[in-house]
Amino acid sequence: MDLIEILSFAFRSAVGPLAITFALAAIGLNIHYGYTGLLNIGQVAFVMVGAYGLAITVDVFGGSHVLGALVGLGLAALLAVLLAVPTLRLRADYLAITTISVGEVLRLATRSSQAAPLTRGADGIAGLGGPFYALNPIPPGDYGFWIFQLGSERRVWLMLVGWGLIALMCLLVWALMRSPWGRVLRAIREDEEAARSLGKNVFSYKMQALVLGGVIGGLAGVYYAIQAAGVAPDTFDPRITFYAYVILILGGPGRVLGPVLGALIFYALFQGADVLLRQGAAGGWLPLVEWFGSQAIGATRLALVGLVLMLLMIFRPQGILGDRREMSLGA
C-alpha cells in the first residue's frame, strides 16, 4: 500500500476544482437549508442554470465570458423567483417537491432535440474557458511538493480563483448572518409563525434567501463550466444535490465554514478511498474485482463513504463544526 500516493491524491482532490464547485453549491444550500430552513432539493437546477447561462451566451450568442457569467447568475436569480412565488406561501414540503422535479425537468429539456439549437442537446457545449486562462498570471510549470501536489499552472489558476470565490462567499454569509437580516432568517428556520407574529414579512425573507443561495449555486455552475471547459446535460443529475447535502451536513449546517470543511473532507475521503481500493485490487491484497466484478471498486467506495457518514451522524450528529448543545434543542 502506497500511503504517499493515497494522501497526495486525497489532497489534490480536496482542494481541486470539483471540490470547489461543490463547496460553492453547498454554501448556497447552507443559506437555504442551514440558515432559513428551506428544503431545497434541487440545488443542481441552480448550478445547471448558471453553467448553461454562461455556455449558451458564449456559444450561441457569441458573448464574452464575463457577460455569460452575469447571464448565468441572473438566470439563477430568476429561477429562484419563479420557484418562490408559487411555493413559499405554502407548506414547506411544496418547495421540496417542486425543486426536486425542476432539476430533472431542466436536465431533460436541455438534452432534448427541440432545445438542441440552443443547448446542442445531449452532447452539450464545449470550448469554454479560453479567455479565463488567458488572464492566468502564473508562469508555466508543475506546482506543489511532497504530498501537496497542485498540478499545472492552469490548475493552480483555477484553484486560486475558486478559493478566492469561496472566501468571498463565506465573508458574505458571515457578514449577513451576524446582522439583523440573518437573525430574521434564523427565526424563520426556528418557527415562521413566531417570526410573523413579531411583524416580520416571512415570505419576503424566504424569497431573498432563496434568491441569494440560488445565485451562489449559479456561481458554482459558472465555475464548473469553466473548469470543465464545457457543459453536458447529464452531469447535472440529482446526485449533485445529494452530494451537496452530504457536504453540508458533514461540515455542519448553519455554520459559515461548514460547507467548505464538508467539501474538503468529502472529496478527500471519496478520492482517497478510490486510490486505496484500486491499490488493493492491483496489489492483490483486496481481490474485490475477482469477487464482485468490475463494478466493485466504485460500489465499495460509496459504501465506505456511507459508513464514514453513518459513524459521523452517530457521534457528531450536528456536523463537524456544529454545536451539540444547540443540536439537542432541535425540538
Partner 1 sequence: MAPDTRPHVPATEEQGSEPSDLVAGEDLALARRARAQLAEVAPEPGVPKPDPLLVADGVRKSFGGLVAVDTRHLEIQRGTITALIGPNGAGKTTLFNVLTGFDRRSEGTWQFADQDISRMAPHRVAQRGMVRTFQMTKALTRMTVMENMRLAATGQTGEHLLSALLPGTWRAQERENTERAQALLERFDLAAKADQFAGELSGGQRKLLEMARALMVRPRMIMLDEPMAGVNPALTQTLLGHVTDLRDEGLSVVFVEHDMDVVMGISDWVVCLAEGQVIAEGPPEAISDNRAVIDAYLGARQDLDEHGPEGVR
Under the rule (CB under 8 A), what is the footprint of partner 1? 172, 175-176, 179-184, 186-187, 189-191, 193-202, 208, 212, 325-326, 329-331
Nearer to partner 1, 137 or 330 (CB): 330
Report residue 274: phi and psi, to 5°.
-60, -50
C-alpha torsion angle, residues 92, 93, 98, 104 (rounded to 10): 130
Report the nearest approach of partner 1 to the CB of residue 187 (Å).
Answer: 5
Radius of gyration of the chain (CA): 21
Whose Cβ is closer to partner 1: residue 185's or residue 246's? 185
Count of CB atoms situated within 10 Å of the CB of 219: 26
Q: How far is the CB of 73 from partner 1 (least distance, A)?
A: 16
Angle at 172 between CA 34 and CA 104, to 5 degrees: 50
Q: Which is nearer to partner 1, 169 or 212 (CB)?
A: 212
Nearer to partner 1, 142 or 191 (CB): 191
> Closest distance between partner 1 and the C-beta of residue 106, in Å?
27
Q: How far is the CB of 254 from partner 1 (least distance, A)?
A: 8
**CA triple 275-223-72, angle to 5 deg:** 145
Nearer to partner 1, 106 or 185 (CB): 185
CB 6 within 8 A of CB 275: yes
**Smallest gap from residue 193 Cβ to partner 1 (A):** 6
What's the distance, Cα to Cα, between the start and end of the chain in Å?
Answer: 47
